[in-house]
Homo-oligomer: A and B are copies of this chain.
């Protein structure tokens, strides 16, 4: 087996491949974010603990941390990795650079909750550097509710906009649109969830400095477990039954479809020979497929589907009454 268990993570060993101070700084900050996310989520869950698996393959190494069967969290994964290799065909497409090598370091995380009324959340921050010195950041946070709660979506987007606005006025509108386009399940004609922000190939330069980009990705990494802990605390006690679990499992299968068919991170991981268990730790604990299942009109499931079939500018929506899950424009 490729995966070995370590009780104490040899932090310094892990980043010694980084032979320049900026890369080393980013790698260390990302590692710290991974630890921070796990600590915060363990506190929020109250029962579940994260495992620590250190893996090494030809392409690089990483730390996969997984919580399974928590009190509120069904499965959470927080991956840290740094990998390197020859420039891939896709990087050539993006950068126009055919020859040379890349190094990439990043944190990606996903949380599948126990309670169907709690959304799935996903976060990723990553830094790429080519051998000629070209570098860029990518990342994002997005929310995939099984049942869309308008107020929650508005609050989520408001928080993201607040962070983005600190760094560049174009970040939120650009990255919100990018998330809408990216997290779209083309073969189903529906959005994966209520979106969030997504960005790629953001280069330090005129518009924003390297320092600010490091800070921006760090702020996203830190906001992520804080935002989710709040939702977990607000909603994990909500009562639900078999019907809601079935719906949750149907929506989880859409998550599976998106990740395996469309997600570029998953594709990159699989094609570059990454560690399958770490890449596919994003999969839900369970998923169900029901042939041609259609929720009945005027149900919560139906309302969620209606919202997933259009692009919504959440910040333009009035906050609906706290007790109502029906958005103003649907009533």
Interface residues of A (CB under 8 A from B): 1, 3, 51, 53, 66, 68, 75, 77, 186-188, 249, 253, 256-257, 260-261, 270, 276-277, 279-281, 283-292, 294
Contacts A188-B276, A260-B260 known; A253 to B283 CB distance under 8 Å?
Answer: yes
A38 to chain B, nearest CB (A): 14
Query: How far is it, in angstroms, between the C-alpha of A72 and the C-alpha of B248 when the chains are bound?
Result: 26
Please determine whether A285 and B276 come into contact, CB atoms closer than 8 angstroms: no
- Which single member of B261, B277, B285 contacts A288 (CB below 8 Å)? B285
A286/B283 contact (C-beta < 8 A), A187-B276, A260-B256, A261-B270 known: no
Contact A281 B276 (CB under 8 A): no
Beta-carbon contact of B292 and A277 below 8 Å = yes
Bound form: Cα–Cα A25–B285 in Å:
46
Given contacts A3-B292, A66-B292, 19 further A-B contacts (CB under 8 A): A51-B291, A66-B291, A68-B290, A75-B291, A187-B280, A188-B276, A256-B260, A256-B287, A260-B261, A261-B270, A277-B292, A281-B291, A283-B289, A284-B289, A285-B289, A286-B286, A286-B287, A287-B287, A287-B288
CB distance from A252 to the nearest CB of B (A): 9
A75 / chain B contacts, CB cutoff of 8 Å? 291
- Between A and B, 28 residue pairs with Cβ closer than 8 Å are A1-B294, A3-B292, A53-B292, A66-B291, A68-B291, A77-B291, A187-B270, A187-B276, A187-B279, A188-B276, A249-B286, A253-B283, A253-B287, A256-B256, A256-B260, A257-B260, A260-B260, A260-B261, A261-B270, A280-B289, A283-B289, A284-B289, A285-B288, A285-B289, A286-B287, A286-B288, A286-B289, A287-B287
